[in-house]
Each structure stands twice: as structure tokens, then as C-alpha cells.
Amino acid sequence: MDSAQKPLELILARNLITSLSTPAFLVGEDGALLFYNEAAGALLGMSFEESGRMAAHEWLATFGPFDEFGQPIAVDDLPLTRSLRDGRPAHAEFCIRSTKGTEHSIEASALPIVGAGSASSGAMIIFWPVDEQERRRVATAT
């Protein structure tokens, strides 16, 4: 695993999400998982201290983003990938599976992190668990 000094913008992003009670991920420019906060660990069933850093294919396989029909979501369609690829924010709703087997519907927003030299350093992904009952109520009402 690459252990070179991280660019300042990634260091500051990590410091920021450490302080958030909203679940959040930090990935490098290659999509590798660099860090997630305690709130994300609670949702994923495993703390970052337990999981450590993971290559993109590892964490995708571990937490398995899938759609409402249980089908895996193509990597290219994930907000994270779109954000890294396009250098734009991206948002989507999908499901993940914790290491304890619990499934969670989430909304996720990915923000590209671009440093002072205009080079992409990675992305920050913040996600919100979707309340299933509330979603059904809204769907019924509309």
C-alpha cells in the first residue's frame, strides 16, 4: 500500500470527516479506500482500525453496493467513480451490506477533491441512511 505523504487537501479532508457524525469515506484518486469515520464504521459493521485501507475492488466486494432489486451496481455508475472520472459532484441512492450482513439503503454524495495544483487527489463520499418507512410513506403519498 502506498505510504507516501498525502497531499494537504486529503489530510484536511480526513480531519474534517473524523469530526463528523455523518458517515463519510475518503478515497484516493484510484478509488482506493483511504479512511472512513466512526459513523461509517458503525453502519458498515467494522471500524476503519479493523478494516484498514483497501483497494477499490476490495471494498466494493466487501460492502457490495447493489440496487433495490439486489443487483450489483456497475462500478462506473457509482457516485464515487463518476466523481473521480468527471471531476464533478455525484449523488445516488443504493444499498450496501455491512460486514454483519445487515443491509442499508443509503443516499451517497461524492465530492471530488482537487488540490492547489488542479490535480485530483481523490474524493470524499458522505452518505445518509434512508429511512425505509419514511420512503414508503412518501411513495404512497405521491
Partner 1 sequence: MKLTVWGARGSVPAPGPEMNRYGGNTSCVELTLSDGETLILDAGTGIRNLGVKLAASMPKINILLTHLHLDHIQGLMFFPPCFQADSKITIWGPSSPEATLENRIARYISAPLSPVEVRELPCEVSFRDAPVTEWEIGSATIRAEAVTHRGPTLGYRISDGDETLCYIPDHEPALGAPLDDLEPEWISGHDLACGADMLLHDCQYTDEEYPAHVGWGHSRLTDTLTFARRVETERLMLFHHDPLHSDAFLDSFADTAAQRWEQLGGDPQKLELAAERSAAEVSSAGLAAARP
What does the binding site for partner 1 look like in residue numbers (CB under 8 A)? 3-8, 11-12, 14-16, 18-19, 115-118
Give dist(CA 133, CA 80) in Å, integer: 27
Q: Which is nearer to partner 1, 73 or 124 (CB)?
A: 124
Q: Compare residues 18 and 62 and give the one whose CB is closer to partner 1.
A: 18
- Residue 3 and residue 23: Cα distance in Å, rounded? 24
Cα separation of 31 and 16, whole Å? 19
Please report how close the Cβ of residue 2 comes to partner 1 at its closest, in angstroms.
8
In whole angstroms, the minimum distance from the beta carbon of 29 to partner 1 comes to 15
Question: In sequence order, which residues have a C-beta less than 8 Å from that of residue 132 and are 6 or more positions away?
Answer: 105
* Shortest spacing between CB 40 and partner 1, in angstroms: 16
**Measured between alpha carbons, how far is 65 from 71 in angstroms, rounded to an integer?**
9
61 vs 119 by CB, closer to partner 1: 119
